[in-house]
Structure 1
Amino acid sequence: IEVRPATMDSAIAVDRKKRSARAVKFFDVSKDDEIVVGHQGVRVVPVQRSTSRTDVFQFINTIIDADEPKSAVIRELGRELQHVRKTKGKIAVVGGPAIVRTGAGEHLVRLIESRYVDRLFAGSAFAVYDVERALFGTSLGMSPDLAFARGGHENHMRAINTIRESGGIATAVKKKVLTRGIMHACVLHKVDIVLTGSIRDEGPIPGVTTDVVEAQKIMREKLADVTHVLLLGTVQHSLAVASMLAPTVKTVCVDIDPSAVEKAVEHQPLQSIGLVTDVEPFLRELADCLVDAEANRADGRKK
């Protein structure tokens, strides 16, 4: 009997009548569930590595340090994502506030518009930073053009209040209160948005799941059919998502902190690539690669 889904840090519940077994988190165990105890009768089958060397994840499986070239890897990743979209795979992005603060948001929007993002996992702060940038041109009061924006420290709370007054992000888009940014693009292109809260959150804005156990359940449900995950500029959220993934899911972790990349890659040692770099140049080059390819194909069809 194969255990489905195969996830780490879980128990195995067996249903004798249905001849099935499932991985369950400890908080999901119910009275009368039959749980496997010990090792006898359990066989672990590791993920097999491909020998064809046609997959960027199969022949790299490593961390690309800050002083190493990354363009070739990003181009290969672009081709992989094109294949994923063509074969109806699912791509998830786990995003941190650094995407907004470094000015990389516009590149993520391009990926969303080109249908290379199916799910977005983030904390409440990510959404608020993006809304603040869209409404006021700042993120946490900081402007990309000015060292200090006048009155910028107030904009974070103004962004929260604007979304709360609107009734949520989707409603703000519908009312044309929110007309640009990552959240706007997600709503417009029907990307699933999974927002979870933290102890430090202001607000929170509507749509954020603040119950930790409930958030885990929602995230696991939304990750069930995901085939590829981009972990971008967020340590804690990336590790949380990585711990929920099946071993067959391919991951790319991008962070300026080498230790963050190492920790994320450890969760998927046979199916992951880690790049130690700022998230902005990574997303810019990836978006250029994919959007240019789309444009070239469109030009070819016209001719």
Structure 2
Amino acid sequence: MSAAPTLPQPTFDPVAAYPEMGRVRSALAAMDWAGVRALIDGAPDPVARTMLIRFAATVPGAEQFLQDVLARDPDDSVAGAVLGGHLVDVGWKIRSGLRAQYVSAEQFSTFHGYLRRAEQILIDAAARNPADVSVWCQRLVSARGLELGLSEVRRRYDRLAEHEPHHLPAQSQLLQSLCPKWSGSWEQMHAFAGECMLAAPKGAHNAVLVVTGHLERWLDDDGQGVAYLATSRARNEIYEAATRSVWDPGFRHDYGWVAVRNTFAMAFSLIGDSRAAAAQFAALDRFGSEDPWHYLGDPAEEFVRRRALAYGKGGAR
């Protein structure tokens, strides 16, 4: 009997799946703003453009250069979105992803300072370029961090949705704000996720919001998460979401596909559907995403462990 083929080690660098991100990072590190703009302006759709901008915002040490770019051209909404997003990213790393009761007063103070600076930049960028959805998407993150309230978050999302009603990065941000941990409710969160799924075309990525919502509830359910995912509602809605996205022939590997398939892989693994989980791992090959695997522990370890479990229980390779 021949040995089973060696499975590839997962990579969690988004550049592996989306090479344009690597080129954006190199151009920004080289302080080549024309090169950055050419890559971002050449994005195939608004979701890709937003993802490139959000990735650029994570490049370390770019703050002064971005400030200079924006000072030279205050109407450059890409510079505003990247700089605002950069300040949000730095601030959020200081705050950490812990629940509020585990974050120190000093962390909160520094975090809010960065977000207030980002807000001023993003407010100006939105005023100058009100149709730029990437600016509004960043403003959803800053609004949540500054705890400006659901009505303000909704207002910002509605402004964005006027231009892009199926913008998954923005919908994902609003979904977070609708969770109880950010003063929303499960009812609001599930309703929003379902609305987005049904409004989007079949085969679109948006149905993943339904799964993300159930994973958020699983995570928050005080030790009862496994029992929650075993409920008929959770299972049925996860399967419905798969039918409208990753199981639909129209599902495409556009920007964002890696996180979508990883989310379904984790959900299928948690509900014990090894065959369905294995199919997602096979489609992913070596491409992992930290979200949502970090909910279970080390993302790479969990990806490898859950993949082996899925294949070991009869799932196809």
Structure with the greater relative contact order (CA < 8 A, sep ≥ 6): 1 or 2? Answer: 1
| Structure that is richer in strand per residue | 1
Output the TM-score relative to the length of structure 2: 0.31
Output the TM-score relative to the length of structure 1: 0.32
